[in-house]
Amino acid sequence: MIRALWDDLLVRVQAWPRAARRRAAVLPLCGLAFYALFCGLFYAGEQVDARLGSVSRAAVAMGIGFERPRISYFPPAASLDALWLPLRALSGDAGRTPALILRDVRLEMHFFPARLTVQARLAGGELHLLLTPSAFFRPDACAVRAEAKGLDLAELGAALTGDGALLRLMGGSLSASCDASVPLRDGRPVFGGSGGGLSLTLHGGALEHSLPMLRAPRLEGLDGRMELVWKKNALELRQCALNNAVLQLQAEGRATLAPAAGDSRLDLRAVLRLAPEQLREELTPARTFQSFTSRGEARVRISGAARRPSIELQS
């Protein structure tokens, strides 16, 4: 019975036109291909979920926090309502660790070419980040391009500084851009091997200070710009300018970076222009006050180890 049905089926198939026979052969192959694609995507999703689990545990161990992570596969992307990045190097209080808070974070993976894009809100402004590895598997370097616009210095300062800080950011708008190349080893950045540049622009800044020499406890209307470049462990401050109606500050110089920030070596020169009536004479060193009185400015050289630098008043 079954043999007869099989023979009848073969006879009918042979009677089909050639195009029909090709379609009949292609359709099962397409079905198998879609099934294989489904299995591959399912397996990839399981691997991604497992990898994200390990990354999440490592992030929690490092003090990184996040809120409501979500994953999508078409296109490959991840979203978070918030991401906390601790900055332990700025922590001066054992009970408080400053942190950057990114909100509405969106990460997207692209394959041709391989790159990762990150968009987020930071301190009332926008942050855009592009990471381009040198290879999809086992890259030995990664190109980094970052841009931030409209950052609120009051919100940023509240997150980064405490009540007892010497300088407290109270307002203003900050923009920044950075291009860098970072070498990688086993997927981790290598200290002292990167190179790149950073520029910062400040508009309408305001800060409060605890400097006893200045009469005004608050400086407002600050505009400024800073440009620096680095290659490996050599950093060059090409431009640093800050000014308002009361003061003008210009600085430039070099630094040799070390794994421990306190061991870095500095060689910086700065010029501060300030009217003498803005100073408290009784709390200002005699030579410094005389320099402001006679020339309207003070030239300073900062050199030595960053942990305890030498500050020398230039004649």
Domain boundaries, the chain: 63-87+96-314
**Residues linked to residue 83 through DSSP beta bridges, in sequence order:** 66, 102
pLDDT of residue 146: 92
As a whole number of angstroms, the distance between CA 161 and CA 20 comes to 75
The pTM of the full predicted model, rounded to 2 decimals, is 0.71
Give the number of residues written for the chain.
Answer: 315
User: Tell me: the pLDDT tens digits for 91-109?
Assistant: 444 445 567 788 888 888 8
CA distance 156 to 101: 9
DSSP 215: S
Quick one: pLDDT at residue 200?
Answer: 93
Give residue 90's pLDDT.
45
Alpha-carbon distance 108 to 115, whole Å? 8
Cα 89 to Cα 163: distance, rounded to the nearest angstrom: 17
Residue with tokens 């470049």: 229
Please write the tens of the pLDDT for every residue from 6-40.
555 555 555 556 555 555 555 566 666 666 665 65
Task: List 290's β-bridge partners, or say none.
Answer: none
* Spans of the chain, pLDDT less than 50: 89-95
Q: DSSP E strands: which ranges in the chain? A: 65-67, 70-73, 76-86, 99-111, 114-122, 125-133, 141-152, 167-185, 188-189, 195-209, 218-231, 234-243, 247-256, 265-274, 297-305, 310-314
Q: Measured between alpha carbons, how far is 270 from 300 in angstroms, rounded to an integer? A: 5
